[in-house]
């Protein structure tokens, strides 16, 4: 399916470049918003949109800070409240008048924004699909108490360094490629899509990490220990399906344990052979899950 890009100008001064199918579906088709993570961009959803784009209107935005979209300089501009404001405005542009989005699909950092939106503005969504993105309550719990997750997340502190951009860009992004591994889906063409994304600037993407308090404790820093999340602020009552590649090296399966406490209307689909990059590895499975969640 041929893709096209357009710019969504939001009323609070942020512009997001979005990808969608060149040929729109029939009038009245379900609305699906797809959010990428780090170190990705909206192109990661192209194959999925190709599989569902004839039946649903799909928008995949470049999140704030990523090439083609607004990239505020302040680290504070990447806090959750601002990401939620972007999604609220984008949903208002996309959804049919007076109706919520039919489905929000989100991976990695896109999932962090999606969890927050679903908790704060549940009336805007019919359903939520989370793909390998931890709920803030279970992530906080595991960062505090699980040495395996602490070790798996240690890279987050490196990404917060003031010189992280320069270090990651060295030698054709030699430190970034290992995030993706050497999978079959990482063809020369896909590599160039990633290079174009990274050449467009790494400060915005890295500011997501810098703005978040949820990262492993470093040295004598006790900030993580002081964080307490009120259940009422993080409980998601939107019907939620979690699709989780269990070979994720950064986000371990224990992050799913006890999730129903904060997500009462929850279903979980574990994929033992998939990794964090399941959207690339199994786009047909992701598309099938989307179609199933959109079914009447």
Catalytic residues: 108, 209, 276
The number of angstroms, rounded, from the C-alpha of 46 to the middle of its chain's C-alpha atoms is 15
Contact 66, 196 (CB under 8 A): no
3-state secondary structure of 4: strand
**DSSP string covering 8-58:** EE-TTS-EEEEEEESS---TT--EEEEE--TT--GGGGHHHHHHHTTTSEE
Other Cβ atoms within 10 Å of 258 Cβ, number: 12
**What is the enclosing helix (H) or strand (E) of 224?**
helix 223-226
Tokens 């404001």 -> residue: 85
According to DSSP, residue 160 is labeled: T
Tokens 């595991």 -> residue: 142
* Alpha-carbon gap, residue 269 to 282, rounded angstroms: 13
Residue 65 region by backbone torsions, left for phi larger than 0, else alpha for psi between -120 and 50, else beta: left
Contacts of 147 (CB under 8 A, 6+ apart): none
Which residues share a beta bridge with 130?
106, 242
- Per-residue tokens: 294: 């959109």
Other Cβ atoms within 10 Å of 215 Cβ, number: 21
Other Cβ atoms within 10 Å of 185 Cβ, number: 14
Q: Report phi then psi at 31, rounded to 5.
A: -105, 130
């Amino acid at each position: 399916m041929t893709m096209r890009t357009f710019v969504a100008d939001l009323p609070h001064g942020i512009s997001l470049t979005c990808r969608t199918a060149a040929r729109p579906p029939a009038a009245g088709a379900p609305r699906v918003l797809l959010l990428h993570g780090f170190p990705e961009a909206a192109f990661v959803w192209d194959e999925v949109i190709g599989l569902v784009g004839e039946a649903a209107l799909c928008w995949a935005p470049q999140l704030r800070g990523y090439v083609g979209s607004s990239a505020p300089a302040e680290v504070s501009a990447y806090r959750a409240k601002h990401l939620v404001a972007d999604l609220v405005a984008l949903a208002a542009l996309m959804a049919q008048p007076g109706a919520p989005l039919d489905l929000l699909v989100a991976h990695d950092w896109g999932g962090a924004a999606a969890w927050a939106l679903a908790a704060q503005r549940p009336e805007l969504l019919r359903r939520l699909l989370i793909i390998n993105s931890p709920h803030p309550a279970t992530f906080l719990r595991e960062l505090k108490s699980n040495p395996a997750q602490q070790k798996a997340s240690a890279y987050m502190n490196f990404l917060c360094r003031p010189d992280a951009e320069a270090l990651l860009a060295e030698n054709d992004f030699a430190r970034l490629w290992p995030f993706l591994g050497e999978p079959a889906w990482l063809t020369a063409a896909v590599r160039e899509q990633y290079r174009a994304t990274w050449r467009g600037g790494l400060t915005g993407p890295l500011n997501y990490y810098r703005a978040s308090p949820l990262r492993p404790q470093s040295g004598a820093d006790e900030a993580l220990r002081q964080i307490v999340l009120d259940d009422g602020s993080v409980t998601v009552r939107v019907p939620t399906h979690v699709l989780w590649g269990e070979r994720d090296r950064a986000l371990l399966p224990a992050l799913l344990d006890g999730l129903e406490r904060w997500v009462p209307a929850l279903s979980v689909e574990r994929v033992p052979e998939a990794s964090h990059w399941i959207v690339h590895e199994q786009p047909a499975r992701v598309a099938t899950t989307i179609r199933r969640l959109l079914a009447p």
